Structure 1
Amino acid sequence: MLFGRTPVLPTPEQALQGRPEPIFMIPDRHTVLGNPLIGPYPEGLETADFALGCFWGAERKFWQLPAGVWTTLVGYQGGYTENPTYEEVCSGLTGHTEVVRVVHDPTVISYDRLLKTFWESHNPTQGFRQGNDVGTQYRSAIYPNTPAQTRTAESSRDAYQKVLTASGYGKITTEILPSEGRPFYPAEAYHQQYLDKNPAGYCGLGGTGIKLSTPFETNWGSSCPTGIASVPEATGK
């Protein structure tokens, strides 16, 4: 419990030590999509890692997309502790945030489209919190797996910042850092597809109501005009 104190990320020296191997198993298959949770994945699929608050609701946002998402799983990323447990992450002493990994077919659903879902599904200006959920483990983050993902994520952030600013929101606090050196550790079995198993379960996500158009970047040989983020008549703020 923070009791009004501002969450602070630990240094590597302050972080819990962790362990070389996980101490729990996760299910073989996705309860909704039916595909394996853990790779190796079929050739041609790509992975995308996003943190947008409590990972129960975040995962559901992506498995509910109409096509192209092959599997999703939740875990911990961005910190220092190897193979952490949920309790350790919640202590604030691992440095990790709650992440959903999205394995998708880029010929069916683009990384741009996943980013659109990411930005529109939460408020990325809140720092170490999302709604009523407070703690470093709830910070907004993107951990790109390729240089192209990094460029696209940064471009989408800049586009979204323009419309957020125009609507009175502050600076985006989303962490965008390469996944290299920041391993993804799957969470415990009961967290995987939690809201499918518990349809009435807690979901603390709430977006700003502001929409973002795609694409965000057209410097890679595309003839399409640059995407412009747009604000709907009612922002929901």
Structure 2
Amino acid sequence: MLFQKTELPTAETALPGRAVPVKTDEVHFVSGRPLKGPHPEDFQTAIFGMGCFWGVERIFWSLPGVWVTSVGYSGGITPNPTYEETCTGRTGHTEVVQVVFNPAETSYGELLKAFWENHDPTQGMRQGNDVGSTYRSALYYLSDDQKAEAEASREAYQAALSKAGRGQITTEIASAGTYYFAEDYHQGYLAKNPAGYCGIGGTGVVCPIGVGVEA
């Protein structure tokens, strides 16, 4: 996995994929809640890419106010990709976690704080020893409010990183495209495999509280 491509493919060079989704779990391994819905009315969804999605998912399913999480692929070209295909770097996707949360108990801004503090957003097409476009840092927004909050939080966290002598944020912030659920064995991976690999680690720089933009 250290030799994955770090350049994103074009529509011409991307793998063709398939019309049928890959097999995945129907309910979350920890909470037993449905991965694909229906979700409670007025709950919101957010999508985060922070490197290997196994450890990232555990971070988010442990947070107050999070109703259910799942892992998948987003930000790319290939429809219904497999894990093996994403690992070639030729689908354009990054590993992401989809988070369904109750805005009465937590906010998108609080999830953004967890996002920034639990990985290194300055590493480009990698995260630690995991190298390749599938491990790039990404925020895929689902509304104009999320876009504004994501961009404001990036500026606030960049100021904190610069003060600490760290580099420039390379996080991709873009409108959420299609989210493809990853295979069943990836869902809730670190609950199914407690001794499994987790390569997630932050910079040690605290994200300022209240960095969000009011809706």
Report the Cα distance in structure 2 between the residues aligned to 1:144 and 1:82, rounded to whole angstroms.
20
* SS class of match (1:207): coil
Match of 2:54 in 1: 56
In the alignment, structure 2 segments of 5+ residues that lack a partner are none
Tell me whether 54-63 or 163-172 shows the greater mean CA deviation: 163-172
1:59-98 aligned at under 5 Å gives the runs 59-65=57-63, 67-98=64-95
Tell me, in whole angstroms, the C-alpha distance in 1 between the residues paired with 2:148 and 2:6: 29
Could you give the per-residue CA deviations for residues 128-185 of structure 1, whole angstroms, max 9, x where no partner exists?
Answer: 0000000000000000001000000000000000010111111100000011xx2000
State the one-letter code of the partner of 2:184: A
How far residue 35 of structure 1 moved from its aligned partner, in angstroms, is 0.9
Q: Which has the higher strand share?
A: 2
Q: Residue 28 of structure 1 is aligned with which of 13, 26, 29?
A: 26
Kindly indicate whether the alpha-carbon contact (under 8 Å) linking 2:70 and 2:181 is maintained by their aligned counterparts in 1: yes
Aligned to 1:212: 207
Match of 1:43 in 2: 41
Higher relative contact order (CA 8 A, sep 6+): 2
SS in 2 for 1:143: strand
Deviation at 1:206, TM superposition (A): 0.9
Q: Aligned-residue CA RMSD in angstroms?
A: 1.4
Map of 2:14 onto structure 1: 15
| Amino acid in the other structure paired with 1:186 | F
The aligned runs of 1:189-200 (5 Å cut-off) are 189-200=184-195
Distance 1:59 1:218 in 2: 25
In the alignment, structure 1 residue 113 sits paired with structure 2 residue 91: no
**In the aligned structure 2, how far is the partner of 1:2 from the partner of 1:55?**
16
Gaps of 5+ in 1: 221-237
What is the Cα deviation at residue 213 of structure 1? Answer: 2.6
3-state DSSP of counterpart to 2:141: coil
Residue identity opposite 2:25 in structure 1: P
> Which region of structure 1 is more displaced relative to structure 2, 26-35 or 139-148?
26-35
Indicate the residue corresponding to 2:197 in structure 1: 202
Structure with larger Rg? 1
| Deviation sequence 1:80-126 (CA, Å, 0-9, x none) | 00000000000000000000000000110100010000000000000
Supply the AA of the counterpart residue of 1:210: V
1:73 Cα deviation after fit: 0.1
How is 1:216-227 mapped onto 2 (pairs within 5 angstroms)?
216-218=211-213, 220=215
Q: How many residues align?
A: 215
Q: What is aligned with 1:226?
A: none
- Percent pairwise identity: 57
SS in 2 for 1:177: strand
Distance in 2 between residues matched to 1:218 and 1:177, nearest whole Å: 17
Q: Aligned partners of 1:156 and 1:107: how far apart in 2?
A: 20
Separation in 1 of the partners of 2:86 and 2:44? 26
